[in-house]
Amino acid sequence: MSVSIMRKEQIIRETEQYVKSILERDSSGHDWWHIDRVRRLGCQLAQQEGANVFVVEMAALLHDVADEKIVGSEEIGMRLVREWLARFPMGTEERESVIEAISTVSYKGGNGKPPRTLEGKVVQDADRLDAIGAIGIARAFMYAGHRGHLMYDPALSVRETMTKEEYRHGPSTAIHHFYEKLLKLKDLLHTESAKMLAVRRHQFMEQFLRQFYQEWNGNVDPSDFT
């Protein structure tokens, strides 16, 4: 094993502990286990797509440290990321690649800037895959509870378009979040590997919503009693 590989492994281990110290108690769906899932999925996508695995892993580990939902503002978050990366003997190009990938992860109500690098596309895809499917459903309700949103309000309209501020602070519910974000993600993925993984997760959300409305409306099939 080369020294450079050993150094990178040490950087990753230290970064894991740093991120855990910030996010392990999070109750909004952006906890350490979300980070770990995005990291593991991102590394798999990176290998499939030929991206720089180290850059992807570091960006995946740090992406929610820079999230304004977690630290209050994007400026504070990116400063924390830069200060953390400056601790390590990384090349300038590699460090800036990590920062670039992190800067384009967030959805922001559909107003986020698109990734300009393959690594950025891979990290964003991994993060978005964790927002759909069974895990995505669970996280949607965690986030709604964290923000004090209702589970569902039939009188509330789905917001088709919105600014970042409207997306962050406007009225919504857990179920509305599916239409305002989650059901859109499958068609916003970049890599072919992620697109293949998204199909079943997307279908699972559609199935869940059908069952949800059936139960919400009290529609019972007589055959269920036999």
Max distance between CA atoms of the chain, in angstroms, equals 68
Q: Is 202 helix (H, G, I), strand (E, B) or coil?
A: helix
Confidence at 164, pLDDT banded by 50, 70, 90: confident
Alpha-carbon separation of residue 53 from 19, 21, 80, 83, 85 (angstroms): 18, 23, 22, 22, 16
- Going along the chain from its start, the domains and CATH numbers come out as 3-216 (1.10.3210.50)
Confidence at 223, pLDDT banded by 50, 70, 90: confident
Alpha-carbon separation of residue 35 from 19, 51, 71, 129 (angstroms): 8, 19, 15, 12
Contact between 58 and 12 (Cβ < 8 Å): yes
Confidence at 2, pLDDT banded by 50, 70, 90: very low
Mean pLDDT of 91-99: 93
- The confidence score (pLDDT) of residue 5 equals 77
Alpha-carbon separation of residue 179 from 71, 126, 159, 176, 200 (angstroms): 26, 20, 8, 5, 17
Closest CA to 61 of 9, 111, 112, 136: 9
The whole-chain average pLDDT of the chain stands at 92
Mean pLDDT of 147-171: 87
Contact between 150 and 144 (Cβ < 8 Å): yes
pLDDT digit string (tens) for 10-31? Answer: 999 999 999 999 999 999 999 9
In sequence order, the β-bridge partners of residue 150 are 173
pLDDT at 126 over 90: yes
pLDDT digit string (tens) for 178-191? Answer: 999 999 999 999 99
First CA to last CA across the chain, in angstroms? 64
Cα 188 from Cα 180, distance rounded (Å): 13
pLDDT digit string (tens) for 38-78? Answer: 999 999 999 999 999 999 999 999 999 988 777 767 888 89
